[in-house]
Amino acid sequence: MGSANGLTNGRGGHPLFAFGVITDVQYADIPNGHSFLGVPRFYRHSMLVLQRAVKSWNNNKNLNFAIHFGDIVDGKCPKDQSLNAVKKVVDEFENFKGPVYHMIGNHCLYNLPRDKLLPLLKIPNLDGGRAYYEFSPAPGYRFVVLDGYDISAIGWPHDHPKTLEALKFLRERNPNSDKNSPNGLEGLDRRFLMFNGAVGEEQMEWLDCVLRDAINMKQKVVVCCHLPLDPGASSQEPLLWNYDEVMDVIHQYDCVKVCLAGHDHEGGHSIDSHGIHHRVLEAALECPPVCLAGHDIYDGGHSIDPHRIHHPVLEAALEYPPGTIMLEQME
């Protein structure tokens, strides 16, 4: 796999398929602001960033699909505007001449409950708010989209069993009255925050079955989740609560080659103990050149450029500095 700006695997081959990627658009019709760390956030401008991404995806003409890694609208969006804001961003994604796959993030759930959000994002809602699914864009390849807020204190009704489970989990691990505060938490325990979540038992069993099936079908797998799954690719605070349990399942099989995520706006890259690449994508909200635009998939092994990238599928189309991720020859 290589970037969609024309990089190849050195064999002169054509990609099996290519796809566009963007994360953390977090649009809101409000003035610019800052994160709690003081990083500038461009709430209205993020729509322009998305428009440029979609335009460049369409100009590329070779992208088979696009994936948005969650947080379509910012939590600061006025709640009486949430529904229209989500529809506005979804409509912009619909300008892409191909299918778009979404996943939910915490900011999505600050704005709308699951029962309203999932139909807007066209996430297959097969079982009472379930937001995890899979798809196969080409023979021999499977994408697995996880729901990192399966167990969560946000998005479910207040008395829902998954809400109650999440609140109990946080009480046992985070002594702060503000469960979004990591004060006093050390090391990887700093991930036990309310704006994160976990993969539940039923989803874990589903993941195990999907990966077992991929092995039987000799498929290579890309795992996608809003929340990062490896501490080496992310700061501690944005990690999935039970990333270690998820990776224990993934590491039982050798079919997973790449894990992609958002949420940690600075982005990052690591290669874990089993050789799986983890790439956390930079946030569109905080980076006027969007985080990332595309990948080409080649038949064969892999290499990856771990440097911070911005967006362009085509550098000239966006007039920003070039940046690429290459995953070539996924053996």
| CA-based max dimension of the chain | 58
Residue with structure tokens 């796809």? 19
Average pLDDT (183-202) is 98
Q: CB within 8 A of 67, min separation 6: which ones?
A: 19, 20, 21, 22, 100, 101, 102, 103, 143, 224, 260
Segments of 262-328 assigned E as strands: 268-271, 277-280, 294-297
- pLDDT tens digits along 91-139: 999 999 999 999 999 999 999 999 999 999 999 876 778 999 999 998 9
Whether 307 shows a pLDDT value over 50: the answer reads no
Q: What's the average model confidence in pLDDT over 242-257?
A: 97
Residue 75 has pLDDT above 70, yes or no: yes
Distance CA 14, CA 55 (A): 22
Asked if pLDDT for residue 327 goes beyond 70, the answer is: no
Give all domains of the chain, ordered by start, each with its CATH number: 16-288 (3.60.21.10)
For residue 75, give every residue at least 6 positions away whose Cβ sits within 8 Å of its Cβ, in sequence order, or none. Answer: 26, 106, 107, 110, 111
pLDDT band at residue 159 using 50, 70 and 90 as cut-offs = very high
In angstroms, the CA 196 to CA 240 distance is 6
- Per-residue pLDDT averaged across 33-44, rounded? 84
Question: Between these two residues, 302 and 99, which has the higher pLDDT value?
Answer: 99
Counts for the chain of helices (H) and strands (E), in that order: 8, 13
Of 130, 142, 53, 141, which is closest to residue 98 (Cα–Cα)? 53
Extended beta strands in 175-253, E state: 220-225
Which carries the bigger pLDDT value, residue 63 or residue 254? 254
What is d(CA 245, CA 235) in angstroms, rounded to the nearest whole number? 18
Q: Please tell me the predicted confidence (pLDDT) of residue 3.
A: 31
Average pLDDT over residues 224-237: 98
- Give the pLDDT band of residue 63 (cuts 50, 70, 90): confident
Q: 153 falls in which pLDDT band (50, 70, 90)?
A: very high
At residue 37, the pLDDT reads 76
Grade residue 293 by pLDDT with cuts at 50, 70 and 90.
very low
Whether pLDDT at 286 is above 50: yes
Instruction: Indicate the average pLDDT of the chain.
Output: 84
pLDDT on residue 275:
94
Please tell me the pTM assigned to this model: 0.86
Model confidence at 61, pLDDT cuts 50, 70, 90, reads confident
Compute φ and ψ for 121, nearest 5 degrees. -90, 0
pLDDT at 146: 98
Q: What is the mean pLDDT of residues 259-277?
A: 95
